[in-house]
Structure 1
Amino acid sequence: MKIRQKPEDFIVEEIIDLGKTINENGEYYLYKLTKRNIENLKALSYIAKKFKIPLKEIGYCGLKDRHALTTQYITIPKKYGILKLDEKNLKLEYVAPSNPLKIGDLIGNRFNITVRSIKSEDFLKIADNIHALDYGVPNYFDSQRFGSVFERKFIAKEIMLGNYEEALKILLTKYKKSEKKTIKDLKRYIAKNWGDWEKCAKYIEKNDIKSRMFVNIINALNKGKSYKEVFKYVDDRLRKIFVSAYQSYLWNECIKEVLKDYVNEKDRYYLEYECGDFMFYKELDEDSFNALKDVKFPTIAPDVEYKGEVKEIIDIVLENEGITFKDLENIDCLDCKFVYSERKILCIPKDFKTSGFKPDELNNGKYKITLEFELNKGSYATMIIKRAFLGVKKSSRRKR
């Protein structure tokens, strides 16, 4: 099987309450933003620059996948006039006067996902998996949440444990294949010359590196600042990502512990990801499903008092991690904290439809299938795909 061979294989449409947002007397204009194969913040930054609008004045509900065809809503103050943009991979369409959009205004997303290169011998397995989606999937945070994690190491956890140098090494030397070549080259150079900050500073100057974070951190280290001190030069958004990644991982681990009470060992299926393993259930009986379908589990935050079974599960996870509640407070150099929230244990797709298996025009002799469904905000469509194709071998290459 192959996913995302082209952006149109992964279509996302944002769902908001237009009746609540549209307001003839509002001080903003509502726009529909359609983007193809473009990272969300890059698209918003492009619009801000093109129309000379401060990025902070553009309102939006949530971030959308990069390698996809996505439609979402944004708001821009009326003072900039009615704007229009119609380019190859980016389109901005005026909708109506409105109130400003905020992150919390998102209701959910509608997905249209085509999976390709399917072998005919996998039809029955996939059909059984799709039928099992009636009982939902664990509502895990998926890989998109863990872009800052390398070799299962979390920057926030290393900081909590006082391993500031290790945390900084992850930030300054580890990279994804998708990063720009200049940044990958820089990270390789820093890794090779770790500790020789004068040499690293000269490399940055010689190669005209524009990244403010790298410039400020390396210059500060060259002046004798400590590994802990230089985290103040990390962008606020990145610092929150570091904390959110570790908190999301802890929540995933808690859900695995919850499910162990409802799923027999023979019905458990483990799937590896960046931070460890997801545990899926092959089957979930009616009573267990009814007991779990509307239940939420909290995120772990140090300033909250947990009780009963919730506390028991959290204690197990923290012990497995080798940390305590007190450790969760030791992230002062990131200037942010673990925030309490509640999240449903199960993710249950709504209005689920499939196209049935059809010949795949991109992969000779193979088949494709399209899945359509709706999810509430915060849930990951990729978890639905993982469950629908559980046990089906994924191809190592993909085209875009």
Structure 2
Amino acid sequence: MKLIYPLNVKNEFVFNSSPRDFTVEEIPLYEFTGEGEHLVLKVRKKEMTTWEMLDAVSGHVGIRRRDIGYAGLKDKHAMTIQYISLPAKFEEKLSSFSHEKIKILDTTRHNNKIRVGHLKGNRFEIRLKKVLGVQKDKLDSVLKWIKQNGVPNYFGNQRFGTNGNNWEDGKKLLDGTLKMRDRKTREFLMGSYQSYLFNKWLIKRMELNLLLEKFTEAETEQVMGLPEGSLKGVGKQPGFYKLLEGDLMMHYPYGRLFEVEDLETEAERFATKDIAPTGLIPGSKTKRAGGLAGYFEQMFDEEMKLFGARRYAWIQVTEVKKRYIEEKAHYELSFVLPKGSYATNVLDVLRGEAL
């Protein structure tokens, strides 16, 4: 049976990125030991960035912000729960900490400082409003598709600033046409440009996937200007996202990087969620795809004096739960995404706007 990506299913609903309608909770990478020289805080915040929360805590106990460990940055416009760590000798000072936008929910000891990336993923709870009966049925259908297949792993709007053009300053910094002293801001803007290039590449691969849903391999080759026969057998793969010769895969949800050798075999493994394709975050010391996959990647690859990386192009949405409150026309969702992924990717697929 042909698998149809639900991009043509347009759903209308209202989503407000606010603490009332949007909750994010970190899932720690490991269990905390209960002993050690570091104190781990489970912190709930709202209407403030992670940096602002760290400044409030560090200012109260009298340490530098960089002395506090954290696993990831959390959205300002949500109710977020995350874990931070600081030297345990400041535990007594914390007992008098009070802030209208921050609440310390729990504390425990641990052997080491929490580092960036030390989390399995994030649990999201989202409330969609003005969802009437027919829209509810459509959302149910698309959500079922998402549970079975996953979603594209775009970088979210948070990476690109209020006006969506942070990447332009990042490009200028890399080109040398813009100077900036603040190191953290400079790194963020240049990372925004890397994220922009990744998203542009993923859009191109999504165009290929969508064409193969509607046209033959030969017709798709013509539309995209690809060599004759280069897509042979690709359209028959079981999933929506099609693997190409030379694609670099990783075991999922984390693991070793390797190149596709047999498309049919690896497509079956991808369908069982054992592995997933990756895309390039351009930079140095990063492996590039080969073959036809490399052709697509080269369109959005640039030399830059920054470390690059490989990022999952396609992710799975797990622990999906839903609840429809008919009298309020609210559709409530709960799901888990791997670290570094954005809830907006799920919302965009639900709207039918994920390209």
The match for 1:350 is 318
- 4, 14, 22: which one aligns with 1:2: 14
User: 1:3 & 1:135 partners in 2: Cα distance?
Assistant: 23
More helix per residue:
1
8 A contact 1:148–1:155 mirrored in 2: no
User: 2:327 & 2:17 partners in 1: Cα distance?
Assistant: 15
2:188 maps to a residue whose letter is: I
Does residue 122 (structure 1) correspond to residue 135 (structure 2)? The answer is yes
Matches within 5 A, 1:232-247: 233=181, 235-247=182-194
Pair 1:121–1:299, CA change in 2 (3 A) = same
User: 1:391 & 1:344 partners in 2: Cα distance?
Assistant: 20
User: 1:87 & 1:161 partners in 2: Cα distance?
Assistant: 43
User: 1:307 & 1:63 partners in 2: Cα distance?
Assistant: 30
- Secondary structure, aligned partner of 1:100: coil
- Secondary structure, aligned partner of 1:126: helix
How does the TM-score come out when normalised to structure 1?
0.65
- 139, 150, 158: which one aligns with 2:153: 139
8 A contact 2:160–2:167 mirrored in 1: no
Give me the CA root mean square deviation: 2.7
User: 1:148 & 1:59 partners in 2: Cα distance?
Assistant: 27
Larger radius of gyration: 1
- 228, 252, 262: which one aligns with 2:199: 252
Matches within 5 A, 1:143-154: 143-147=157-161, 154=168
User: 1:112 & 1:373 partners in 2: Cα distance?
Assistant: 7
Does residue 286 (structure 1) correspond to residue 299 (structure 2)? The answer is no
User: 1:305 & 1:31 partners in 2: Cα distance?
Assistant: 37
How does the TM-score come out when normalised to structure 2?
0.73
User: 2:163 & 2:282 partners in 1: Cα distance?
Assistant: 19
8 A contact 1:10–1:111 mirrored in 2: yes
Pair 1:38–1:81, CA change in 2 (3 A) = same
User: 1:143 & 1:39 partners in 2: Cα distance?
Assistant: 15
User: Unmatched 5+ residue regions in structure 1?
Assistant: 168-227, 269-283, 319-324, 330-336, 361-366, 393-400
User: 2:29 & 2:192 partners in 1: Cα distance?
Assistant: 29
The match for 2:308 is 340
Deviation digits for residues 164-200 of structure 1 (CA, Å, limit 9, x no counterpart):
2xx4xxxxxxxxxxxxxxxxxxxxxxxxxxxxxxxxx
The match for 1:315 is 298
**Identical-pair percentage:** 26
Quote how far apart the aligned CAs of 1:44 are: 0.9
Matches within 5 A, 1:1-400: 1-4=13-16, 6-19=18-31, 21-24=32-35, 26-82=36-92, 83-84=94-95, 85-98=97-110, 99-133=112-146, 134-147=148-161, 154-162=168-176, 164=177, 167=178, 228=179, 231=180, 233=181, 235-264=182-211, 286-289=238-241, 291=267, 294-304=276-286, 306-309=288-291, 310-318=293-301, 325=302, 328-329=303-304, 337-360=305-328, 367-390=329-352
- Secondary structure, aligned partner of 1:114: strand
- Secondary structure, aligned partner of 1:117: coil
8 A contact 1:29–1:94 mirrored in 2: no
Quote how far apart the aligned CAs of 1:11 are: 0.8
User: Unmatched 5+ residue regions in structure 2?
Assistant: 1-12, 216-235, 242-265
Deviation digits for residues 127-162 of structure 1 (CA, Å, limit 9, x no counterpart):
222122121111000101111765586112224445
Pair 1:387–1:103, CA change in 2 (3 A) = same
8 A contact 1:296–1:343 mirrored in 2: yes
1:299 maps to a residue whose letter is: I
8 A contact 1:300–1:314 mirrored in 2: no
- Secondary structure, aligned partner of 2:114: coil
8 A contact 1:60–1:75 mirrored in 2: yes
Deviation digits for residues 281-338 of structure 1 (CA, Å, limit 9, x no counterpart):
xxx97344573552222321145463513432222235xxxxxx4xx33xxxxxxx42
Pair 1:149–1:89, CA change in 2 (3 A) = closer
1:371 maps to a residue whose letter is: L
The match for 1:191 is none
8 A contact 1:113–1:371 mirrored in 2: yes
